[in-house]
Amino acid sequence: MVFKKLCLLLGLTLSISITSLAYSHPSDSDNPPLDHTSQEQQELSADPAQFQLIAEQNAFQPDTPLPVAIKMTIADGWHSYWKNPGEIGMPVRINWTLPEGFTASELQWPTPIRFEQNGVVGYGYENEIVFLASIIPPKSLAAGENSKIEASVQWLTCSDATCLPGVSQVSLEIPHDDGSGSLSRQNQDQFTKDLFSTARSRAPQKNNKGNPIKVFSSNKIIVVQLDNSLAPCKKATFFPESKQIIDETHQAIHSTTEDKPNCASIVLKENESSTAKTLKGILVLENDTTKQAWDIDLPIERDAKELMIGFADKNNLHSNQISEPNANHTDAQLSFPLAFIFAFLGGLLLNLMPCVLPVVSLKILSFVKMASQSRKITFQLGLAFFFGVIASFWALGGVLLLLQSYGHSIGWGFQLQEPLFVAMLAALLLLSALSFFGVFEIGTSLTSIAGQAQENIRAKKSALFSSFCSGILATAVATPCTGPLLGAPIALAVSLPPILALLIFTALGAGMALPYLLLAAYPSLLRFIPKPGAWMVTFKELMGFIMLATVIWLLWVFQGQAGNMGLFILLFALLLISFGAWIYGRWCTTICSRISRYVGISLTLTCMGISFYALTAAATIESDESSWEDYSPERVEELKKQGTPVLIDFTAKWCGICQFNHIVLSNLNVTKKLSEHKVVKMKADWTSKDPTITKALHAFGRNGVPLYILTGKNRDNAFSILPQVLTPGIVIDHLNEL
């Protein structure tokens, strides 16, 4: 049994570890105008999750909620997550983009299912699910016009082998009723009727006085007592809305009789830190033929010494005294020790990951250089590196636990879903690669230790600090390359008390840093490595290319988050960083004059300041490629006849001014104003030769790009030409004139 559990836990950790390397580009979907459902969306997508936006009625009526559904189809063998994903995972998030005056109701979540693998509990969905909401239009609507509703869906799907996050866009254009209600009364197709009917039937019911459910608590044990007015059940599952109340791994059912088991109550183990006054979540009761789901939000009766379980007739109870779930169960005994061991072994394996290998390889080379020095100094420097790694893992684990405690659904490795983190990490690794190539050195640098550390106390302190920073750098570059054996231990750590959780992270860091501490303590182990020589410089430069490969991968991830324009700005920032590093290495060394160093440092800081601003700007740009239509003269004429304003961007990737102007058009205030005026954005990309776009340029009296055309809401041929160099103010002023 123990061997089987070990094999299962190993399989889970290996599958979860691949998560941090699996990223998808945001998928886009659109609907033809006036279509009430987007049934063809994403048919060609390879994503394991596909989405449709469907309206229950054919038209909006003033101030009347219109039910809509987002249908999520999950590939076989994959699952997604509920709003409380359980011990690990990320919930589905839906963000609406609506016309001015329109609002969206709170999302109605379908009843989830519970899945457990090696003690890691998750709540979520499989196959096909439907999220319901209502879109409420304003009190007055222009008859005969259309309104477009859009939703951005952030999702995470996992299989037995890997996890894949993504962002999908869905939209729907719905006409306004002409006032007679004839459009809204049109019959929907059977698919839409069945979809909404099934979705409502699967939604949890609100608890009411006709179906009383009571909640008691004593000694960190919560009992949800069921009433005999509920349908008989053989299985009961509780899905807590918050992570902070109960221990997901402990749920037990007490039944009324032994010969004919029927749910009387469900027993939950409360988290030690919980002080909740109410229990919120979904209670699912099942038998052979039926399944009931209750949405409960009930007060917890604290310090109930006599916790009665069962129905009104207490004589039928199999037990009338609640006993605490056995905290010393064999699984509980195994979970923490195994997690600690796997975290340690996973830390050892991190040294072989491509992101970490260049840093740790140079650390070994530094030991080769120091082989002839004092063993005491060598050990001190190795110890400084060891504590740098440990402190970094404590910091990362502490931040993870802190955010989890405030209800943020995050997991290890998902920091790479933050564009700013990806951009900063790419910049850090680029600087490391440039240092490997010898473009610059910061004293002894972050990735090497001074060979002359014993010369004086100051040099020794500097070397110790550099070694400590080497440990920090090694941990930082390890974050995008979470290796084998780490998934389940980290998943368990975030559900443990802080002290035990930090022990898991300590084991992880100790495993990663132990080889270097041993090499520092026993320099004789280095006898298998060739003696210092020119090969070390070549090896160091080779590691620089491996580091650049990691930067390229991070750029690919960033492009999927911030789009082409965000990537363009990031590349410009990295160029500035490289230029600043070159200036530092050329004019800021100790052999340069004081004036040269001052000027060089000033220029370096200027470059770094500008690049940091560019990094943050790039990270705040959202990928909006899906909101631009390809230029089509026929489509422009169609929109003009409908009285819909159109912004046409004649651009090309080789046009520098065009790229600057695209940043302006991606400005938050500009995009908001475009949405308010319901402007359709069209991109005429002239990067490659296109006779249609060339003809259009000539028609507007131009022979090149950029060119920006804004048509009005009236149906004549009136249009305005915007300046070649745009600012947010210029664009907004022209939009206000529509």
> Which of the given ranges, 25-34, 100-109, 532-541, has the highest pLDDT on average?
100-109
Higher pLDDT, 573 or 210: 573
The residue-averaged pLDDT of 492-517 equals 78
Cα dihedral 682, 685, 691, 695, rounded to 10, equals: 50
Least Cα distance to 86 among 302, 261, 237 occurs for: 237
Whether residue 260 contacts residue 288, with contact meaning beta carbons closer than 8 Å, is answered with no
Residue 49 identity: A
Higher pLDDT, 118 or 506: 506
Segments making up each domain of the chain, as ranges: 49-203, 206-302, 336-416+442-530, 629-737
Express each pLDDT in 582-607 by its tens digit: 999 888 877 888 888 888 889 999 99
- As given in the structure block, the two tokens for residue 549 are 């490969």
Residue 286 identity: E
d(CA 362, CA 543): 8
Higher pLDDT, 256 or 579: 579
Express each pLDDT in 180-229 by its tens digit: 665 555 556 788 888 898 888 888 887 655 556 777 666 666 777 666 55
- Residue 530's pLDDT is 65
Least Cα distance to 683 among 623, 632, 618 occurs for: 632
Q: 629: exposed, middle or buried (C-beta count within 10 Å: 0-12, 13-18, 19+)?
A: middle
- Describe the crossing of helices 534-587 and 419-436 by its angle, rounded to 10 degrees: 110
Between the CA of residue 4 and those of 1, 10, 467, what are the distances in Å?
5, 10, 42
Residue 41 has pLDDT above 70, yes or no: no
Whether residue 247 contacts residue 221, with contact meaning beta carbons closer than 8 Å, is answered with no
Instruction: Order the strands of the 113-117 sheet from edge to edge.
Output: 80-86, 120-125, 113-117
Largest CA-CA distance found in the chain, in angstroms, rounded? 95
- Describe the crossing of helices 498-521 and 357-369 by its angle, rounded to 10 degrees: 40
- Residue 731's pLDDT is 92
d(CA 305, CA 196): 45
Whether residue 340 contacts residue 11, with contact meaning beta carbons closer than 8 Å, is answered with no
Q: 286: exposed, middle or buried (C-beta count within 10 Å: 0-12, 13-18, 19+)?
A: middle
Q: 403: exposed, middle or buried (C-beta count within 10 Å: 0-12, 13-18, 19+)?
A: middle
Place of tokens 């991070």: 554
Between the CA of residue 597 and those of 508, 575, 579, 654, what are the distances in Å?
41, 21, 16, 37
pTM for the model: 0.47
d(CA 393, CA 211): 49
The radius of gyration computed from the CA coordinates of the chain, to the nearest angstrom, equals 31
Averaged pLDDT score across all residues of the chain: 73
d(CA 412, CA 163): 12
Residue 480 has pLDDT above 80, yes or no: no
Least Cα distance to 223 among 236, 207, 210, 242 occurs for: 236
Helical H runs in 620-703? 633-641, 656-665, 668-676, 691-699
Whether residue 87 contacts residue 495, with contact meaning beta carbons closer than 8 Å, is answered with yes
- Residue 578's pLDDT is 94
d(CA 715, CA 720): 14
Does the bond joining 706 to the residue before it have cis omega, within 30 degrees of 0? yes
Whether residue 155 contacts residue 80, with contact meaning beta carbons closer than 8 Å, is answered with yes
What CATH code is assigned to 206-302?
2.60.40
- Residue 707's pLDDT is 92
Mention every residue, 6+ apart, whose C-beta is less than 8 A from residue 461: none
Whether residue 233 contacts residue 262, with contact meaning beta carbons closer than 8 Å, is answered with yes
Residue 511 has pLDDT above 90, yes or no: no
45 falls in which pLDDT band (50, 70, 90)?
A: very low
- As given in the structure block, the two tokens for residue 640 are 């003009």
Residue 497 has pLDDT above 80, yes or no: no
Least Cα distance to 675 among 720, 618, 718, 731 occurs for: 731
Residue 38 has pLDDT above 50, yes or no: no
SS3 139: coil
- As given in the structure block, the two tokens for residue 716 are 């004549």
Handedness of CA 658, 661, 663, 666 (dihedral sign): negative
Whether residue 700 contacts residue 645, with contact meaning beta carbons closer than 8 Å, is answered with no
Place of tokens 């209750």: 294
- Residue 96's pLDDT is 92
d(CA 235, CA 3): 30
**Phi-psi sector, 182: left (phi>0), alpha (psi -120 to 50), beta:** alpha
What CATH code is assigned to 629-737?
3.40.30.10
71 falls in which pLDDT band (50, 70, 90)?
A: very high
Establish whether domains 49-203 and 206-302 are of one fold: yes
Least Cα distance to 648 among 683, 678, 679 occurs for: 683
Indicate the helix (H) or strand (E) that contains 621. Answer: none
- Residue 328's pLDDT is 38
SS3 213: coil
Between the CA of residue 570 and those of 425, 617, 649, what are the distances in Å?
12, 9, 23
Least Cα distance to 517 among 459, 474, 476, 461 occurs for: 474
**Secondary structure string (H, E, C) spanning 245-302:** CEEEEEEEEEECCCCCCCEEEEEEEECCCCCCCEEEEEEEEECCCCEEEEEEEEECEC
Mention every residue, 6+ apart, whose C-beta is less than 8 A from residue 733: none
Of 156-165, 441-450, 457-466, 469-478, where does mean pLDDT reach its minimum? 441-450
Q: What percent of the chain has pLDDT over 70?
A: 64
Express each pLDDT in 315-348 by its tens digit: 332 332 333 333 333 333 335 777 788 888 878 8
- Residue 161's pLDDT is 62
Tell me the CATH class for 49-203: mainly beta
